[in-house]
Chains A and B, each alone.
Chain A
Amino acid sequence: MSHHNYITGKSKYMNPYLAGVILGLVLLLSFYLTGRGLGASGAMKSVVVTAVETVSHEKADASGFYHKYIADGKNPMSSWLVFEILGVMVGGFLSGALSGRLKLKNEHSPNITGRRRIIFAVIGGALFGFGSQFGRGCTSGAALSGMATLSLAGFVTMVAIFGTAYLFAYFFRKNWI
């Protein structure tokens, strides 16, 4: 499989340090323009709140969790992070297109079946989604953007996420290596 990278002209993926500088500049631009950093799980929360509200407005209105996003007739989809995530989809797609990586594929270790990979992806996603609400943000909004402003919460969340993943890596090694 030889995918030619039209941007770097050489390796498949961009040099990680260069990609990191670009990501850092995007993050800095976000702070400079809007006063806030990047995020992801917040947009997904908007989707969930919208779904709950559509099914039962009374229930959403009475909930301690959903209420604040729909109070005073607010539309949860009318949020900065929703538009930012739509941009992430477009940006990811453009990058994949430029580098010849657009392909329907269930990526998994040859040691496990595709079905097992999907089941674990759903469970992992559910845990991360749950944790992102508990921790008030995910790797982008809490850890990365938080660290950029030197926030203590950002550093703590970062250490908790990566530290725990390392601690549990041994038990899930068959899924990956």
Chain B
Amino acid sequence: MGPIVPIFEISTELNFLIAFIIGIGFGFALEQAGFSSSRKLAGMFYGYDTTVLKVFFTAAIVAMIGLVFFNYFELIDMSIIYVNEYFVNSAIIGGVIMGVGFIVGGFCPGTSVCAAAIGKIDAMAYLGGSLIGIFAFGETYPLWKDIYMKNYLGGVKLSTTLGISDGLMVFGVIAMAVMMFWIGEWAEKKFRRPDITNEL
């Protein structure tokens, strides 16, 4: 029964090796999808390339469905799976700042590492910038501390908030994702920019 590492008390060294191997899969999938190109990532926000939408939501629903089935067949103990803690204010403010950073910088942290690994100089600059940003937060932390800690709701699930089962929630997300895939495919035709996409 999973998760293996906490249940079988796997050593830290082996756990780090697992992290490294999972990271290889993560980086490989991101690069194969084209997340190593800032103009491909940015295409999502102008419609000419919606790869981000397709990859992101496909990955999310595959993992979601997997977890629901693992739980159903008692292959995993969901009570020790980490569910992100929800601090209402900081999640929204942080997300908004990240959104601006995304359209200005053209990457998110994970994709910038992957792009830097294949030699993208803009990604290396972005990585340097992100270290500056994290340092800036660390240095100004006392200013944000109150709002950072405000309205803590714990590791609450969307399904619980809506009062529906996890299975129904996953079904709803899949239905929404399929609709968005359809819109994405439509947008790529409507806003097509062969001058950009042929270069990527």
Contact flag A88-B23 (CB < 8 Å), given A32-B2, A152-B161? yes
Asked if A23 lies at the interface with its beta carbon under 8 angstroms from chain B, I say yes
Find out whether the CB atom of A80 lies under 8 angstroms from the CB atom of B15: yes
* Segment 82-111 of A: residues with Cβ below 8 Å from B: 83-96, 99, 101-109
Please, which residues of chain A bring their CB within 8 A of the CB of B34?
A: 12-14, 16, 19
Residues of B within 8 A of A94 (CB): 24, 27-28
A10-52 at interface with B (beta carbon < 8 Å): 12-14, 16-17, 19-41, 44-45, 47-49, 51-52
Q: Size band of the A side of the interface?
A: 35 or more
Chain B residues near A107 (CB-CB < 8 A): 37-39, 120, 122
A133 to B105: give the CA distance in the assembly, Å. Answer: 17
What are the residues of chain B within 8 A of A87 when measuring CB–CB? 19-27
Interface contact B15-A34, CB-CB below 8 Å? yes
Which B residues are CB-close (under 8 A) to A156? 86, 88, 91-92, 95
Known contacts A27-B59, A155-B158: A89-B45 contact under CB 8 Å: no
Q: Is B194 an interface residue (CB 8 A)?
A: no
Q: Is B93 among interface residues, defined by CB-CB distance under 8 A?
A: yes
What sequence of 0s and 1s flags, for each residue 71-114 of chain B, a beta carbon within 8 Å of any chain A beta carbon?
Answer: 00001100011111111101111111111111111111111111
Cα(A44)–Cα(B17), bound, Å: 19
In the complex, number of A-B residue pairs with CB atoms less than 8 Å apart:
534
**Looking at the complex, which one of B2, B70, B122 makes contact with A117 (CB distance below 8 Å)?**
B122
Query: What is the minimal beta-carbon distance from A171 to any residue of chain B, in angstroms?
Result: 8
Structural contact, A135 and B93, CB atoms closer than 8 A: yes
Interface size on B, residues (CB 8 A): 132
Query: In the complex, what residues of A have CB within 8 A of residue B183's CB?
Result: none
Task: Tell me the A133-172 residues at the B interface (CB within 8 Å).
Answer: 133-169, 172
Q: How far is it, in angstroms, between the C-alpha of A89 and the C-alpha of B28 when the chains are bound? A: 9
How far, in whole Å, are A171 and B77 apart by their CA atoms in the complex?
46
Q: Is the Cβ of B126 less than 8 Å from the Cβ of A90?
A: no
Is A71's beta carbon under 8 Å from chain B?
Answer: no
Given A23-B29, A107-B120, A122-B105, 20 other A-B residues pairs in contact with their CB atoms under 8 A: A16-B34, A17-B54, A19-B33, A33-B2, A33-B4, A34-B5, A63-B141, A87-B22, A87-B25, A105-B121, A124-B107, A125-B101, A125-B125, A125-B131, A135-B95, A151-B156, A156-B88, A157-B94, A165-B45, A172-B103
Q: What are 19 A-to-B residue pairs whose CB atoms are below 8 Å?
A: A19-B33, A29-B22, A31-B2, A33-B18, A35-B5, A36-B81, A49-B138, A52-B135, A88-B113, A91-B28, A91-B114, A123-B129, A127-B133, A129-B129, A131-B96, A143-B56, A144-B56, A147-B173, A160-B95
Closest 7 CB pairs of A and B: A124-B105, A135-B94, A87-B23, A160-B95, A20-B58, A164-B99, A24-B62
Give the interface of B toward A (CB within 8 A). Answer: 2-6, 12, 15-34, 36-40, 42-43, 45-46, 48, 51, 54-64, 66-67, 70, 75-76, 80-88, 90-123, 125-138, 141-142, 144-145, 148, 153, 155-161, 166, 169-170, 173, 181, 193, 196, 199-200
Interface, chain A (partner B; CB < 8 A): 1, 7, 12-14, 16-17, 19-41, 44-45, 47-49, 51-52, 63-66, 78, 80-81, 83-96, 99, 101-109, 117-118, 120-169, 172-173, 175-177
